[in-house]
Structure 1
């Protein structure tokens, strides 16, 4: 289980490095690189969506998943926990002086949670290591996450390191579940699952760039119903 550990350490070390350096990182990098990360998220999303095999269950998954997420108010729960974590951490560690508002903090923090926890690389990397013991995908992701966390921590502070916890839990869960999940799936189910994740990653890119604030955390339940809906579609339609 090397990949989840390395990836978690990448997020934590990147967050602490960025928060510690703060305004020592050139302003042009702090301003421009988040746009690049947003663009990369969109590009990854497009690549994942291109794998789609049956479009109707993908769209239905996204719609029903978002409705479930809105009813459960997942994003509100993340924001509540983030506020508690931020207060606790900032009592111990001095945050960077960025003048960021609470709303701006939450916008970026939720986007980072989704980016770190729900990317296709993380999902498939965890399952791949669980099945064949190869952590290479997650190690590559840890490099990307390190630099992403470092840049965003210049404004979000040490609190961003908390994102490593849900990421680790999800990846470990997928690692151990892979041996049970993958034999029950088909290439079409995996492709449609990837497409749903791609749509969420595309929306995450918009949010990171500040173009449009999609309810990305509330869209996450779509990932859990994507494969079952595709299986039902293949069997009965």
Structure 2
């Protein structure tokens, strides 16, 4: 099975990022600030809508705690930064915002209900509508992000395609494992992480979201065992 939705999503991010880089020098600082504020506020709404799907809040809390500890022990944030740094060297970029742009964009595009549910929907039913809609949204978001962070945002298409493509292929083979309860719990956990992204975009508090990513796996395991 070819994960068509993820391929289209990656292409939309590339196209939007290129346009954002072109517009980079033409955006005054006050325009970039208001764009980030708008993205931050919109991200809060998305995160809240997702987080309110929680069915068992204790499982969600324990998932965040355990996932955060695992992430810290594995030093995922350092691994991601090293990976982005090596990619920056490979492409010969001198953009100071390359690493932050790639990591921030990757988190925004990967941690979300549309990424998870859209990938499952394509894998289980062959329906790419959700991922095509996400592609359109990500394309516009990448314009705004790349206009501020630079070319690093473009390379977020790599983790997006790997992540969503893997979910699609996994869902096509093991769809019977994912009950509505698991999907709701997974969506709610992703929603809280998205709220963390909004805090960063609004420059309220920088949360180490990279090290909280294992909570997305932990919440599935705990829900299966306990829920």
**Are residue 3 (structure 1) and residue 5 (structure 2) matched?**
yes
Cα offsets for 1:109-165 (capped at 9, x unmatched): 422211112221111101101111111111111111112111221232222211100
Contact 1:153 1:160 in 2 (8 A): yes
Distance in structure 1 (CA, Å) of the matches to 2:8 and 2:199: 28
Aligned-pair distance for 1:108?
4.6
Moved more, 160-169 or 109-118: 109-118
Number of the residue aligned with 2:26: 24
Aligned-pair distance for 1:39?
1.6
Distance in structure 2 (CA, Å) of the matches to 1:57 and 1:81: 31
CA RMSD of aligned residues (A): 1.8
Number of the residue aligned with 1:220: 213
Alignment of 1:170-209 (within 5 A): 170-209=163-202
Which residue of 162, 165, 168 corresponds with 1:169?
A: 162
Number of the residue aligned with 1:86: 88
Aligned-pair distance for 1:208?
1.6
Cα offsets for 1:41-98 (capped at 9, x unmatched): 221111111111111111111110011111111111111121222233345xx75xxx
Number of the residue aligned with 2:224: 231
4+ runs deviating over 4 angstroms: 104-108
Distance in structure 2 (CA, Å) of the matches to 1:44 and 1:179: 27
**Are residue 41 (structure 1) and residue 43 (structure 2) matched?**
yes
**Are residue 137 (structure 1) and residue 139 (structure 2) matched?**
no
Contact 2:199 2:206 in 1 (8 A): yes
Q: Which runs of 5+ in 1 are unaligned?
A: 96-101
Q: 1:190 to 1:127 in 2, by over 3 A?
A: same
Describe the SS at the equivalent of 1:210: coil
Aligned-pair distance for 1:217?
1.0
Aligned-pair distance for 1:180?
3.4
Q: 1:60 to 1:13 in 2, by over 3 A?
A: same
Aligned-pair distance for 1:201?
0.8
Contact 1:38 1:208 in 2 (8 A): yes
Contact 2:98 2:151 in 1 (8 A): no
Q: Which runs of 5+ in 2 are unaligned?
A: none
Aligned-pair distance for 1:26?
4.9
Describe the SS at the equivalent of 1:214: coil
Describe the SS at the equivalent of 1:151: helix
Contact 1:111 1:207 in 2 (8 A): no
**Are residue 153 (structure 1) and residue 146 (structure 2) matched?**
yes
